[in-house]
Amino acid sequence: MDQNQFMRAAIALAEKNVAGGPFGAVIVRNGKIIGEGTNQVTSSNDPTAHAEVVAIRQACTALDTFNLEGCVVYTSCEPCPMCLSAIYWARLERIFYGNTKEDAAEIDFDDAFLYLEIPKPIEERTIPTEQMLHEESIKAFNAWAVSEDKIPY
């Protein structure tokens, strides 16, 4: 398959899933699709089940790893901030997308408020956020720092 065929596969997934959310994604490694996903937010009652995240989960399961270096994602729409973060955490090497975030906003999938919210100081964000029990919380981080059994990621 070539790049256009991989993008068409992502688009086909989006078209098949219009009722559940018109988004599709495939993850490719060495010219083969190893993960695919559609938006499953409403069907699974999981707000994190965006097409890209579902595809990442499937690809990680297929490869038995959390590291998708050497893989590329083709997605029917420019990734939202959550999906973009997941793509970076998974270490995908490249993103190809069809629709823009502006196209998504036109059909009421508007992520602009998230892009505006992220750089705000914590105390200015819409959702009240408060730090607590730091002295207790830091113990797990300190244990990680000295652990010889940790798996770095």
- CB-based contacts of 78, cutoff 8 Å, min separation 6: 97, 99, 100, 101, 104
DSSP secondary structure string for all residues of 41-105: HHHHT-TT--HHHHHHHHHHHHHTSS--TTEEEEEEEPPPHHHHHHHHHHT-SEEEEEE-HHHHH
Phi, psi for 25 (deg, rounded to 5): -150, 145
Question: Active site residue: 52, 102, 124, 130, which one?
Answer: 52
Establish whether 124 is a catalytic residue. Answer: no
Pair of tokens at residue 81: 């901030």
Residues marked active site are found at 52
